[in-house]
Amino acid sequence: MLSLKDLKNLFEQELENPVFPADYKNLYDPANYIMSLGGKRIRPIMVYAALEAFSKPYKWGTDAAKAVEVFHNFSLVHDDIMDAADIRRSQQTVHVKWDTNTAILSGDVMLVKAYELLQNYDMEMLPDLLSVFSRTAKEVCEGQRLDMDFEQRDDVSIEEYISMITFKTAVLLACSLQLGAIIAGVDKDDQRHIYEFGKNVGIAFQIQDDIIDTYGDSSKTGKKQGGDILQNKKTYLYLKSLQLLSDSQKNELEGLYNSKDHDPEDKIKQVTKLFDESFVKIHAEELKNGYRDLALSHLAALDLPDDKTKTLLELVDFLQDRDN
Amino acid sequence: MLSLKDLKNLFEQELENPVFPADYKNLYDPANYIMSLGGKRIRPIMVYAALEAFSKPYKWGTDAAKAVEVFHNFSLVHDDIMDAADIRRSQQTVHVKWDTNTAILSGDVMLVKAYELLQNYDMEMLPDLLSVFSRTAKEVCEGQRLDMDFEQRDDVSIEEYISMITFKTAVLLACSLQLGAIIAGVDKDDQRHIYEFGKNVGIAFQIQDDIIDTYGDSSKTGKKQGGDILQNKKTYLYLKSLQLLSDSQKNELEGLYNSKDHDPEDKIKQVTKLFDESFVKIHAEELKNGYRDLALSHLAALDLPDDKTKTLLELVDFLQDRDN
């Protein structure tokens, strides 16, 4: 029985041969660079974990695992341009280390490469693999679009927020599991259950992420506390607080989010105080647990032997360790 | 027997239903916008023309035709960002009409859509379609990268220049024909001949384009004469002239290309004079005819009935009408 840590190491071994060729250096070096920055490799691990769960050799999933990791890194390269982010995993982002045009073009060729890796599978499973993958890829773009649109909007509903995190984060996790399930050859019902398991785990993970950003211990998370607040991110904590607070507190919270020249530490402190007064953390924990329970019910429906269930349960914990 | 003009009209009819959905307006509107700007639709027509040439219903090619047109337009959206181009087909480019982030993301989802359209084909032909398409998509990125690299380089060889235009322009034309041939169900040999026909026609077309940019009649071409010269483009005319001219003329030409504050009209006039003195136009015509002849020999190898050969020959003329 391979642990997730084993699977991660096995995948890292696969990456020792660079995914992209050595020629066209200004095209492929940036792609190999971002792939080499590490991270938790959660998506490829999920492809492997699905194969393990369905008692098939993890190795069958290698090309699909590379495909989802290449796709994820493509989205990071382009998102970092859009967010004007300078640093990714303590290193320079591609558009800073090279330039924006390079980041656009290298990102493009990464997306093509993700498809090319999937093309290595037999024609019997290829249509299913591509259908899940393309739908997911579109949804990830839709999620990124929603996230960008939310910055300009004052009327984001909690439902819309859940859609956004579902598309931007959860569906690619779900897709990774389903690709593994398709390669394992399981039926559509089991594919759907493992997909829904992954999707709901992903949503729970993102809500947890929101909580940690405000309430986490930065010595453990490695991220500065209050980052979302400083970026005026319309997270669940923010949107739900607006519902829970009195009118005057609500105005205060909106005022803090709209102010541009507030002292950062003081802004975090005041927003957190309003979050506390709304008891939104309790609501967030409840919502998170709801998605987690939903995930577990889909896991139960798979009716796997106990040791196989363990692999997928381990995923839930693995996701909580922050460093995605 | 359908003419290329008929095929163009039939494809335009297919586009009357927008390729992209009406929701996520900031994601899909820019994609529908660029698709609606028109152009010669040469790539989808090539998919159709291949089916016609092999005596199969053009209609079988519709999804592949849309796929290559969507891919081509994706590359225009991203290239226009990289080239900081404001105008495309007399209209604002996407990154100007919306913004750069929108152009990046909408381009991304267009690339996904191109694959999704190909996924509509039967699993028997899907691996072949995807294999040609992904290889071509990578080559188009490699061609764009070479083009960008050439701007910074003073040692571009004519061989490298031919590689660049082959990848940036010719392979997608060739790919479009091969996709049609695969859908028509012809064997690998015929697929290769029609691919090589399209590739060599494409290279000849691009050399013709270089000639027209300097020597064309702008009232016919609709483009300002000397555009390449003002952009210091290392075209065939420039690179070959450097080989043909005396050392002092060569220095003069390089000096003109490196100067930043030369009067534009005067710069075009002086560079053209040096081109004239090198007789490079004759060399360019010869090279173009060489690629054209190569294309025709692959066409002959297809051994098609005369009326079918005519469709593909018409393509050669169709490409010369400038407005791609």
Q: How far is CA B145 from CA A32, B68, B141, in A?
A: 16, 20, 6
Cβ <8 Å between B119 and A134: yes
Determine whether domain B4-320 maps to CATH 1.10.1070.11. no
A272-285 per-position pLDDT tens digit: 999 999 999 999 99
Residue A24 has pLDDT above 70, yes or no: yes
A59-83 per-position pLDDT tens digit: 999 999 999 999 999 999 999 999 9
**Closest Cα of chain B to A311: distance in Å?**
32
Q: Which two three-digit tokens encode residue A193? A: 């259950």
Mean pLDDT of A222-233: 83
The string over A180-206, giving b where at least 16 C-beta atoms fall within 10 Å of a residue's C-beta and e elsewhere, is bbbbbebeeebbebbbbbbbbbbbbbb
- Is the pTM for the entire model greater than 0.90? yes
Give the per-residue pLDDT at A1: 76
Chain B contact present for A259, CB below 8 A: no
**Closest Cα of chain B to A112: distance in Å?**
6
Cβ <8 Å between B27 and A145: yes
Residue among A78, A105, A126 whose CB faces B108 most closely: A78
Q: What is the mean pLDDT of chain B?
A: 94
Helix (H) or strand (E) holding B104: helix B100-118
Q: Which two three-digit tokens encode residue A299? A: 């896991």
Q: Which two three-digit tokens encode residue A55? A: 């008692």
**Closest residue in A to B24 (Cα–Cα):** A142
When pLDDT is cut at 50, 70 and 90, the band that residue B321 belongs to is: low
Give the per-residue pLDDT at A324: 41
Q: Which of B252, B243, B247, B251 is nearest to B278 (CA)?
A: B243
Give the per-residue pLDDT at A231: 87
- All residues at 6 or more sequence positions from B37 whose CB lies less than 8 Å from its CB, including other chains: B88, B89, B91
Residue A124 has pLDDT above 90, yes or no: yes
Q: In chain B, what are the domain boundaries?
A: 4-320
Residue among A113, A115, A145 whose CB faces B105 most closely: A145
**Mapping DSSP to helix (H, G, I), strand (E, B) and coil, where does residue B87 land?**
strand
**Closest residue in B to A149 (Cα–Cα):** B26
Chain B contact present for A78, CB below 8 A: yes
Helix (H) or strand (E) holding B47: helix B42-53
Chain B contact present for A25, CB below 8 A: no
